[in-house]
Amino acid sequence: MRFFNRIFIFSVLLFVLLFQTGEAKRADLKIGFDKPVEITARFLEYNKGRGVYVAKEDVELIEGNRLIKADFIIYNENTGDIEANGNVFFQEDGDTLQSDGLHINIFKKTGVVNKGKIFIKKGNFHIYGEEIEKTGDATYRIRGCELTTCDPKLPEWKFYAKDVDLTIEGYAKTKNTIFYILNKPVFFLPYSIFPVKTERQSGFLMPVFSASSKDGMVIKNSFFWAIAKDKDATLSLDYIEQRGFNFGTEFRYHLTEDFKGTWYGAILDDKGYTHSRYRIKGLHEQDFPWNVKMKMDIDHVSDNDYLKDLSTKIGERSESQLKSTVFFQKPFNNSLFTYELAYFKNLLIKDNDGTFKYSPNMTYFTESFPIKGLFFFDLYSNFTNFYRETGDRYSRLSFEPKIQFPYSINGINFLVSGKMYETDYLIQNAIDDSKSTKRRQTFKIEGNSNIQLVKDYYRDRTSGYQSLIKPEIRYIFIPNSSFRDLPYIDPYDRILKINAVTYSLNHYLTEFFRGTNREVSLLQIEQTYGLSGTLQPSNLYEGSGKRFSDTKTRFTFSTIKDLSFIHENVLNVYGEGFKKINNTLSYSRPNVFNINLSHTYTKYLDDQLFADLSATYKVIDGRYQIRYSIKDGMWVDTLYQIVYHPSCWAVTLTLTQTKRPRDTSFRFAFDLAGITKMR
């Protein structure tokens, strides 16, 4: 109702200006306004004895984007009363008021609007009141109040309250409130109270109802708390028939770009467990002095089955490990220092005491920089303390200095590099708590040669395609080294002998148009050959145990902006076939349809199809998702969803089925535009 305050102030200025013009019918003034004021009226008079001003017939005042009209206006300078009758109309920034008449007292700062119709553009609010009374600076009373965000001529829904008392930036108290759908009463509230804010509003969100074969009836109840402009929270109390009440809180803050985050916590006294179950999840980002940045990403659950039982996200239900980290980074000139604390929770084992945690993990690395114009140098170093409650504990310190010699001749590019691996271990024995040290030293020599063949195909002077073919050959040598008595923490601890050559072919097709470029397709194929015997396991190539590695292929294709296809595969050349295949097809037309299809295959482990299809037709959205296991010959997850969303309300029906764990649930959600969340 702050809109009513603007009407009050504007009406006062109207009379101050209107009768300074004497008997003139028109004037252009600028008195107390930001912009010139234009006033018109067919008839103006002033009774000096009574102190009464009268304006009749087509009274109109325009100032910038403000407009007020009326058929008849009278002002008493002794009592401060202003009365307007006949087609009263006020407009500002798209907001409007229409009424049969209004009465305002500028001394008492009170007023009444009869049969007022208020439209607030932000949120598309339509408010009608038989009588809207301003009782104080920020207090109002409305009798016979109707509110909707639909077309007011035939609203699909509306609230009607016999009496409303409200305070700006406070609360509205209503009596005898009825909610209508298509002018049919649906429910009745004898008394209610809700916040009245000009910005975000605290208040209850629309409940969400669902029925599950695993959990029974589920009712999600939420309260949104608008704490301040830069922070808010959502409090939830969900009823789960087969489990109990689940209390959750999500707190969001964005004080500055340098200090922001989101935290979520939930606790459930589950009927099927002897202990309370909980989850804590949060993300915090903060910048400190001296250009130090910090990022905290926490995700912790009370038990291994929490996500499988309670998460509504398909991906989370199949998680095997959770990681919580606190990460700092400090950039220097051409280098970067990072510091990380990390906690891992393995969801596949009951006892997590044997799982390593990083306490801490520190890295320092430099960019490659030239030395005397002859070669380039860079350094990577790392220290990690691998802590766990049971089992041996380790600390590992590694240094990797590297030099590179680039050279080009006749369009052929050469790059020769050498890297040293210096790794030291501190080992704490779990049995007698004794400590020992170990060291590993090795090196890598690498040579790379490639040529780039470029050809442009012009459609006109400013557009066309560029084709770039890049054949490449890379030689890698790492000598044989002993791992005796060295711990195995992760694959970095086993740098095996390599004497091999990797050959690859790359093709890039790029579209250029008036100074902009767009990648149309990419093709990459590579394979490695062992020069001195069978290939040892390494992350530098796919496959080992033979002289030829598996071939690795990547192909991307995007002929038009909204269509893309990605194919990746790893193929064994000794008759074992494909070891990995990934295909992804995406095609979208905004506000029309979205198609996402994918196929993932890992030999002996997984073979799945996933489809996510959605479309919009006028006021109906439809969505279908399915995850199908080719390996097991059955579907794993499915989702069916229909959203009907006319201009001012929406209803969502969702049916989900999953076999991880086995469950079928039906969800119903109802939203009102401007009152609850819409889509």
What CATH number has the domain bearing residue 66? Answer: 2.60.450.10
pLDDT of 187 higher than 90: no
Higher pLDDT, 6 or 150: 150
Backbone angles phi, psi at 10, to 5 degrees: -65, -35
Q: How far apart are CA 410 and CA 412, in angstroms?
A: 6
pLDDT of 25 higher than 60: no
Q: Which whole number is the average pLDDT over 372-398?
A: 95
Report the DSSP pairing between strands 393-409 and 593-602: unpaired
**Is this structure's pTM higher than 0.85?**
no
pLDDT of 472 higher than 90: yes
pLDDT (0 to 100) of residue 85: 87
pLDDT (0 to 100) of residue 24: 35
| DSSP at 548 | B
Strand partners, 246: 238, 268
Query: Over the stretch 312-344, which tens digit does the pLDDT of each residue have?
Result: 887 788 889 999 999 999 999 999 999 999 999
pLDDT (0 to 100) of residue 5: 54
pLDDT of 644 higher than 70: yes
pLDDT (0 to 100) of residue 439: 94
Query: Over the stretch 338-366, which tens digit does the pLDDT of each residue have?
Result: 999 999 999 999 899 999 999 999 999 99
Higher pLDDT, 72 or 587: 587
Closest by CA position to 338, among listed 385, 383, 272, 299: 383
CA angle 602, 607, 612 (to 5 degrees): 120
Closest by CA position to 126, among listed 503, 663, 647: 647
Q: pLDDT category, 22, cuts 50, 70, 90?
A: very low
| SS3 category, 531 | coil
Report yes or no on 19 lying in a domain.
yes
| SS3 category, 277 | strand
Q: pLDDT category, 13, cuts 50, 70, 90?
A: very low
Amino acid type, 135: T
Q: pLDDT category, 123, cuts 50, 70, 90?
A: confident
Ordered DSSP codes for 373-400: TTEEEEEEEEEEEEE-SSS-EEEEEEEE
pLDDT (0 to 100) of residue 335: 96
Question: Mean pLDDT, the chain, as a whole number?
Answer: 88
Q: Which residues are CB-neighbours of 289 under 8 A, at least 6 positions away?
A: none
pLDDT of 145 higher than 60: yes
pLDDT (0 to 100) of residue 200: 66
Report yes or no on 118 lying in a domain.
yes
pLDDT (0 to 100) of residue 174: 85
Report yes or no on 675 lying in a domain.
no
CA distances from 267 to 72, 279, 283 (A): 63, 7, 19
Higher pLDDT, 360 or 48: 360
Residue entry with tokens 């009363």: 81
pLDDT (0 to 100) of residue 11: 53
Report yes or no on 331 lying in a domain.
no
Q: How far apart are CA 370 and CA 67, in angstroms?
A: 69
Q: pLDDT category, 34, cuts 50, 70, 90?
A: low
pLDDT of 17 higher than 50: no
Q: pLDDT category, 679, cuts 50, 70, 90?
A: very low
Domain that holds residue 72: 2-198
- Which pair of structure tokens corresponds to residue 564? 């893309």
First to last CA, the chain: 27
Hey, which of 13-27, 419-433, 478-492 has the most confident mean pLDDT?
419-433
Q: Which whole number is the average pLDDT over 72-82?
A: 84
Q: What is the CA radius of gyration of the chain?
A: 36
Q: How far apart are CA 262 and CA 151, in angstroms?
A: 37
Chain centroid to CA 630: 32
Give the rounded percent of residues in the chain with a pLDDT score beyond 90.
58
Q: Which whole number is the average pLDDT over 256-285?
A: 95
Amino acid type, 659: K
Report yes or no on 397 lying in a domain.
no
Higher pLDDT, 379 or 223: 379
Q: Which of 40-49, 550-559, 601-610 has the lowest mean pLDDT?
A: 40-49
pLDDT of 195 higher than 90: no
Report yes or no on 646 lying in a domain.
no
- Which pair of structure tokens corresponds to residue 642? 């229909």
pLDDT (0 to 100) of residue 18: 44
- Residue 120's H or E segment, with its range, is strand 110-120
Q: Which whole number is the average pLDDT over 99-128?
A: 83
Domain count of the chain? 1
Contact 646, 194 (CB under 8 A): no
pLDDT (0 to 100) of residue 169: 64
Higher pLDDT, 206 or 667: 667
- C-beta pairs of 348-357 under 8 Å, 24+ apart in sequence: 348/304, 348/320, 348/321, 349/304, 350/304, 351/390, 353/388, 353/389, 353/390, 354/388, 354/389, 354/390, 354/391, 355/388, 356/386, 356/387, 356/388, 356/489, 357/386, 357/387, 357/388
Report yes or no on 64 lying in a domain.
yes
Report yes or no on 166 lying in a domain.
yes
Give the rounded percent of residues in the chain with a pLDDT score beyond 70.
91
